[in-house]
Amino acid sequence: MKNNIIFFLFATAVLLNSCKQSEPEDILGRTGDVVEFSGYKWDIKINEFAVGPGPNFFSGYYSDVFIDEDGYLHLRIAEHDGKWYSTEVVTQEIVGYGKYVFVTQADLENIPENIVLGLFTWDNNSFYES
């Protein structure tokens, strides 16, 4: 069986400050609703209505999902027009079982308790109906 890799960042109630930014004309590593990161193309999950996991709203804002000049993927929780948005990316390519190493540069020891960071593989074919 093969899996997609999924990264997501979401919160149910977050007290963070946000900044408004205009959408850039050209951004490194991103074309439309796809980012290129770590040798893969990743679809950006975007929903204007609450969906799982959560339920959450998922942002497609360039300021919330992007690759920086050093090649690092950024996923932000941010407020836009009075609504809080989470972020999630999913590989377009199906990858196999194996060992995957996720490296973060965040202070994961001190994130607020209502924020969840998920780094995992997912296989839609592993579910069955009885």
Q: Are 43 and 34 in contact (CB under 8 A)?
A: yes
Summarised one tens digit per residue, pLDDT across range 79-118 is 999 999 999 999 998 887 788 888 888 888 888 888 888 8
What is the pLDDT, as a whole number, of residue 4? 62
Picking from 35, 12, 36, the residue whose alpha carbon sits closest to that of residue 85 is 12
Where in the chain does DSSP place strands (E)?
2-11, 30-31, 34-37, 40-44, 47-51, 56-58, 65-67, 73-75, 78-80, 83-91, 95-96, 115-122
Is the pTM value of this prediction over 0.85? Answer: no
